[in-house]
Structure 1
Amino acid sequence: MCGRYALATTAQEMIEHFKLMREVKFQPSFNIAPGRKILNIVELDDGSLKPVNLHWGLVPSWAKDTKNSGHLINARAETVKEKPSFRSAFKHRRCLIPATGFYEWARRDGKQAYNFHRPDHGLFAFAGLWEQWQHETETLYSCTIITTAAAELMQPIHDRMPVIITPGYYRQWLNKAAGADEALELLDNQAYAEMTATPVSDWVNKPGNDGERCVEEVAVKVG
């Protein structure tokens, strides 16, 4: 599962990392929760990449309303190709969701929070899907983060984790000409070889709390 993450970087770093040719507008945060508009990188018809802000919680185009978006913040890699809520987006509307870390909680430690990040706290990208929902005059653009079974780093904490796309495969993941089978092959966990985990305080537990305090390392309580 991925239900909380951080994007603490600058617009210039975003442009350089994703090789963007246009301005990036986003609000840096150390504690991003579902239901907010979050930064996505999508591919346009001309092959260029565009940064856009989409609602986190996917609403399928065929949904009667937007009430259940909170149930679709994640899509399971094992079923994303066939599940009605995601299969069209997986085939035609893949995206990258930039991050500098994400949080997961280990219940064995009294629900101890951990921050998963690169050692340099640099940018990486989740595998995401986006969708357009429209009803009369109302239009909503939304997204979801794909998850998979936990890799070795994550297993002591949780049995699920978000899929991370390595930079060398950004273009292949976004490529609209690539079919679902080709995209499915990119949903592995190789990127986790370059990730680490640090325990953080319960300050991050509340979605309204933000700032560098969310990622400050703490000692894990014993007993």
Structure 2
Amino acid sequence: MCNLYSNTMAKDAMRQLFAVDASHDALGNAEPLTAIFPKGMAPIVGLNDDGARWLRHAHWGFVMPQLSKKTGKPIQPKAVNNARDDKLRTSGFWRTSFDERRCLIPATSFCETKGHNPATYVWFGVTGEGKRPPFALAGVWRAYKGNYGGGDLREMITSSMVTTTPNDLVKDTHPDRMPMILAPEDYAQWLTGTPDEAFALIRPFPAERMVIHQSGEGLKSDHGQTQF
């Protein structure tokens, strides 16, 4: 699973990499994000009804409302930020989004932790040109409108990233799951293919095409800054 990633791409670079027309870019003044946690807002790429790609901010995690056991009133909801590949087509929580609303999640690295007290933070990325070559994680999205705890009514796009079995590089840190990285040549198939065609893409990204950018205690932000 993944509970932390970064996206330090400029929005112009995102538009170019993911073939999004400027007229469908709703990011505004998007800042580099060195630490994105569940319930945070971050860019995703999806499709309009006419098939045009868009860039929007999305809440990381499908919203799962909760009620207080003491008062019965709404409290801060859960954010279900990882979608297991083996649940995408069998769980009603994920199935419609996988069939109809797949997305790309722009990233420049993702983090997994190893051990406890203290934990080691390991930041993974892909090989390529530049210090943090960009890539896309496979995701699903859906709209949410409702109570967000504390009486607040919110309307927003929410996303979750697909996870699969880890490759040899990642499994030493997280032996069970890793985010699904898409090769650039597979972006279109993930977004526009049939459910069968999209599901056929799910596999661990090749370990030889990945790197560890940094590893150590207290590295809760890419580029080595601790954030809380």
> Which TM-score applies when normalising by structure 2?
0.81
Give the strand-richer structure, 1 or 2.
2
What does 1:72-151 align with in structure 2 at a 5 Å threshold? 72-107=80-115, 110-119=118-127, 120=130, 121-135=132-146, 138-151=154-167
- 2:71 aligned residue: none
Percent identity (aligned): 26
Q: Which amino acid aligns with 1:155?
A: K
How far 1:183 sits from its partner (Å)? 1.2
> Equivalent of 1:185, from 176, 200, 215?
200
C-alpha root-mean-square deviation of aligned residues, in Å?
2.6
- 1:55 aligned residue: 59
How far 1:155 sits from its partner (Å)? 1.3
Does structure 1 residue 172 correspond to structure 2 residue 189? Answer: yes
Does structure 1 residue 69 correspond to structure 2 residue 78? Answer: yes
How far 1:124 sits from its partner (Å)? 0.3
- 1:44 aligned residue: 48
Distance 1:4 1:101 in 2: 9
How far 1:67 sits from its partner (Å)? 4.6
Partners of 2:66 and 2:78 within 8 A in 1: no
Distance 1:96 1:203 in 2: 29
Distance 1:157 1:21 in 2: 38
- 1:152 aligned residue: 168
Distance 1:112 1:3 in 2: 14
Distance 2:113 2:122 in 1: 6
Partners of 1:31 and 1:214 within 8 A in 2: no
SS of aligned partner of 1:14: helix
How far 1:69 sits from its partner (Å)? 3.3
Q: Which amino acid aligns with 2:182?
A: I
> Which TM-score applies when normalising by structure 1?
0.82
How far 1:89 sits from its partner (Å)? 0.1
How far 1:133 sits from its partner (Å)? 2.4
Where does structure 1 lack aligned partners over 5 or more consecutive residues? 216-223
Distance 2:38 2:135 in 1: 19
Distance 1:63 1:132 in 2: 18
Where does structure 2 lack aligned partners over 5 or more consecutive residues? 68-73, 148-152
- Tell me: CA distance 1:41–1:191, structure 2 relative to 1, closer, same or farther (3 Å): farther
How far 1:109 sits from its partner (Å)? 10
How far 1:191 sits from its partner (Å)? 4.8
Deviations 1:39-92 (A, max 9, x none): 1000112221100111111137x999785432x110100111111111000000
